[in-house]
Structure 1
Amino acid sequence: MSERPWHRPLAVSNAPTDCLDILMMRKKGGAVLKRFAPRRLARLLALMMALTPLATDAYLPAIPDIARYLGTEASAAANSMSLYLLGFACGQVIFGPISDRIGRRPVAIGGIIVFFLSSLALAFSSSLMMFCSLRFVEALGGGACSVNAAAVVRDRFSGRESARMMSTMTMILLLAPLGAPSLGALLNNYAGGWQAIFLFLAIYALVALTLVSRKLPETAVLSGHAEGLATIARRYGRVLGHRAALGYIIAVACSYAGIFSFLSASSYLCINYYKVPEWIYGLMFTGNIILVLGANRLNLSLLKHHSPHDILKVGMMLQLGFGVMALLTVALRLDAAWTLMPLVIIFSSMNGLITANAISSMLDYFPSMSATATAALGCIQFSSGGIGSFIVNAFGDYGPWPLVIMLTSVGVISNVMFRLLSEAHARTTSREGLAEKPHAELEDSSLRT
């Protein structure tokens, strides 16, 4: 069986190629795009994807001040985070198929413009309703950018090279949550209050808009015909009905359910339950980001000798192992901040071996509609994170038990479902000889599996 090339030449496209054409939506004749250095492309896509982690993390220290300014409770202002995650998921679902239809560049640029305008308006919010509504709109723009970044990678790379690009982008992207809370606190305390945070987000979006409109190549192969809602629904049905792809989606969803459960419960457990000083909790949070960076760096090294599929399996088994260890630590009454939290942090860091490999493996089944597939995965991924966070918070009075049960449960679910879906599908297609077919044929044949 001949091995598929990891690099593919950029496609010929009739998408708009300059900013004026983007805004006027005029189509030019096709032109062969120049090769774009992978590291430069990774930096550009990470710059675009960083809009969301900056928007979610930078304003956290200012939530009490936002609540006082808007005349509401801090918990009500904090609910804007849930609205942002909802808007982010909706943005991916809406703009994924549009990106497959009209191209990556116009949707990415449009998403950044939406993010810029809503961030600017957020600085002048005068009521909680206005603030939450604008956060939802801001998230729609962030979702459009995120779904396009992953689609560009799939258009340009496949297999191990795609997973390498995803890991490189993640490593760059993690710099945003690493410094965003501190930056938000500085802007809130010394630069004019919480409004300065959203003015900073608007300026960042303007810089991203300038670079993306000048540097981002069009990588999609456009069909040139309009698609109705029924066609879009069938596209999502093809993604969610593909057994192997569904296994990869569940792997990412379970990992994010565990991560968001940890993030939502960590502050209460460390500071209120285990009485850890706030500055030590901050160091723990920083240590978590550093470990995730290390896991992504390890993933890059492992991809030189192993497939994304195999590394993903190891990452899921390690997550399950650390989830079980955390559960036993609480069950044996050995739990303390110094015994439990390191296990939970390592569980979270194993996402560096899971998400990039799962996304690249899943997208290989959908070369002609990678943005739609990314949108389906992203919606389920962040919805699962929100559900996990909600469940753990709903049972917060039970100390660490909800968190460790959640981590163990998602570890079991991801491993079992991955083997029942993705592994079983791989064995079936291998026996039927489908592994030697081009991916375009494999995508169609998967509908009959």
Structure 2
Amino acid sequence: MSSRPTTPALTGPVPVTGVVPPGVVPTVDSPPAPQYRPNAKYVLLLGLMCALPAISTDIYLPSLPDVARDLKTSATAAQLTMTAMLIGGAVGQLVIGPLSDRFGRRKPVLVGVSLHVVTSILCAVAPAIVPLIALRTMQGFFNASASVVAMAIIRDRFVGSDASRLMSRLMLVIGVAPLFAPSIGGVIAGQWGWRGVFGALAIFGVVLWVVVWRRLPETLPPERRREGGLKSALSGYRKLFRDRHFVALAILPGLGVAVLMSYVVASPFVLREGYGLSAHQFSLLFAVNGVGLVAGAQVNAALVRRVAPIRIVRVVLPVSLGLTLVLLAIAITGWGGLIALLVVLWLILAMVNFVPPNASALALSRHGEVAGTAAAVIGATQAGVSGIVSPLSGLLGGDAVAMAAVMVGASVAALLVLALATPAYHRDGAWTV
């Protein structure tokens, strides 16, 4: 555990270094997270909860052509089943987050994963594309319970660099699972068709439900739960959105996801059509870049033991912007060919997972009394940005220049948010947000 003191939400500005300034008194509604050392099984459980939406998306990717053919619809309509799940996930987080503040952490996730199992089974027997789109929307909504509750649980027990370090460890699970999900989905679809993929998702949901039921402790005691219904939920959101520093920090993970999504969506066209790589070569490069994502998260987890999260963010964002500008120059000029493009791209992806864990931990540390609602805002922002960014590189041409341009845009936006909406770069040295 870090020797640096941790900080609850305060009545005054929250110091990003985790040190309570003189004269600032912690509020009663947001007590410090208790000291706790998570073991590997605990990290794995939270990681699988966070990864449930990604697994549900990526395992289904290879089946899209089969869905279009079997249900006698267009490729565009089949792709709507992906967009629908992202939208359902964004809405689900906004609804389920406040519910977890009201009823505790265990009940919402157990109900949500149960309904994930039901919707997976219904997707497996969907007779047409419209019911499948509707069911995927519902599946995304219920899947959100696992990811938003996992983030809220982290805030219940950790703040500051400790929370950032745990989130970085979770990226090992979150990052590795989707790397293998498309391959597993392809094997399942090859044996049992695309409907078998949803059967596998139902089985995974049952296993996750049992593990959560048996192993996940309740981290929000009754005395810390928020009373009230819709009015209380709206009050929580109103409180969060009035805190401009929280809003800025909550946006940063979404912009980090934007850089990643521009790569995920555009890379098949850039590398296969633009540079003539085979499907096998592309799969290998995709896995190598995935290693970069996971490695970056683990380096961050080690780094936050010695460096305050905000200091990491304020250094990483300018570096990331510089790398994306280099990538754009390579894409425009062709300098260095494919090798130069791949090296810079790997470095960019290795930097991606430095920002979301730190920005999320800092944002959550400001409002521990509504951790579920705060986690919902962060998660919904990421899902919403994913849905918005996904088609941008295609609209700009779908080539390497378009991919790099979207990355530059997201990096510029992230740096501007940090510089203009938080005091991270203030010259007076008061690193508070």
Shorter-chain TM range is 0.7 to 0.9
List, as ranges, runs of 4+ consecutive aligned residues in structure 1 with deviation greater than 6 Å.
Answer: 33-36, 425-429
Distance 1:425 1:269 in 2: 36
Secondary structure, in 3 states, of the residue corresponding to 1:283? helix
CA distance in 2, matches of 1:38, 1:236: 33
Q: Distance in 2 between matches of 1:254 and 1:93?
A: 19
Answer whether contact 1:119 1:199 (CA < 8 A) is retained: yes
Mapped to 1, the partners of 2:355 and 2:384 lie a distance apart of 18
What whole-Å deviation, never above 9, does each CA across 1:352-407 have from its counterpart, x for those lacking one?
2111111111110011011111111111112112211222222226x322221111
* Contact preservation (8 Å) 1:257, 1:386: no
Q: CA deviation at 1:72?
A: 0.9
Deviations 1:141-188 (A, max 9, x none): 111110000000000111111111111111122221121111011111
Instruction: Name the SS for the 1:263 alignment partner.
Output: helix
Report if the CA contact (8 A) 1:6-1:162 is conserved.
Answer: no
2:73 maps to what in 1?
A: 72
Query: Helix, strand or coil for the counterpart of 1:50?
Result: helix
Partner residue of 1:416? 416
Which secondary structure does the structure 1 equivalent of 2:94 belong to? helix
Partner of 2:407: 407
Q: Mapping of 1:124-273 within 5 angstroms? A: 124-190=125-191, 192-222=192-222, 223=224, 226-273=227-274
Partner amino acid, structure 1, of 2:378: L
**Alpha-carbon spacing, 1:4–1:375, altered in 2? closer, same or farther (3 Å):** same
C-alpha separation in 2, matches of 1:424 and 1:35:
29
- The residue identity in structure 1 corresponding to 2:233 is I
Alignment size in residue pairs: 406
Offset, 1:214: 1.1
Distance 2:412 2:316 in 1: 13
2:259 touches 2:352 (CA, 8 Å); kept in 1?
no
Q: Give the CA deviation at 1:331.
A: 3.0
RCO (CA 8 Å, sep 6+): is it higher in 1 or 2? Answer: 2
**Larger displacement relative to structure 2 (33-42 or 69-78):** 33-42
Instruction: State the alpha-carbon separation in 1 of the partners of residues 230 and 395 from structure 2.
Output: 37
Alignment of 1:318-357 (within 5 A): 318-334=319-335, 336-357=337-358
**Correspondence for 1:440:** none
Q: What TM-score results when the alignment is normalised by the length of structure 2?
A: 0.88
Structure 1 runs not aligned, ≥5 long: 8-32, 436-445
- Cα 1:146–1:225, aligned 2, differ >3 Å: closer, same or farther? closer
Give yes or no for contact 2:67–2:78 (8 Å, CA) kept in 1.
yes
Secondary structure at 2:391 match in 1: helix
Alignment of 1:265-304 (within 5 A): 265-304=266-305
- Normalised TM-score (structure 1): 0.85
Tell me how far apart the structure 2 counterparts of residues 174 and 424 of structure 1 sit (CA, whole Å).
28
Q: Does the CA contact (< 8 Å) of 1:260 and 1:385 recur in 2?
A: yes
Cα deviation for residue 408 of structure 1 reads 1.1
Q: 1:269 to 1:225 in 2, by over 3 A?
A: closer
* Residue type at the aligned position of 1:377: I
Q: How high is the sequence identity, in percent, across the aligned residues? A: 27
Q: CA, structure 1 residues 73+100, in 2 after alignment: closer, same or farther (shift >3 Å)?
A: same
SS of the aligned residue for 1:79 comes to helix
Q: Is the 8 A contact 1:38 1:165 kept in 2?
A: no
Q: Counterpart amino acid of 1:74?
A: A
Residue in structure 2 matched with residue 107 of structure 1 by the alignment: 108
Corresponding letter in the other structure for 2:147: S
| Counterpart residue number, 1:362 | 363
String of CA shifts for 1:315-351, please: whole Å, max 9, x gaps: 2222211111011112334274333243233322312
Offset at 1:291?
A: 0.6
- Distance in 2 between residues matched to 1:335 and 1:131, nearest whole Å: 45
- Displacement after TM superposition at 1:428 (Å): 8.6
User: Offset at 1:243?
Assistant: 2.5
Residue 44 of structure 1 aligns with which residue?
Answer: 45
- Equivalent position SS for 2:423: helix
**Is the 2:35–2:157 Cα contact (8 Å) retained in structure 1?**
no
CA RMSD of aligned residues (A): 2.5
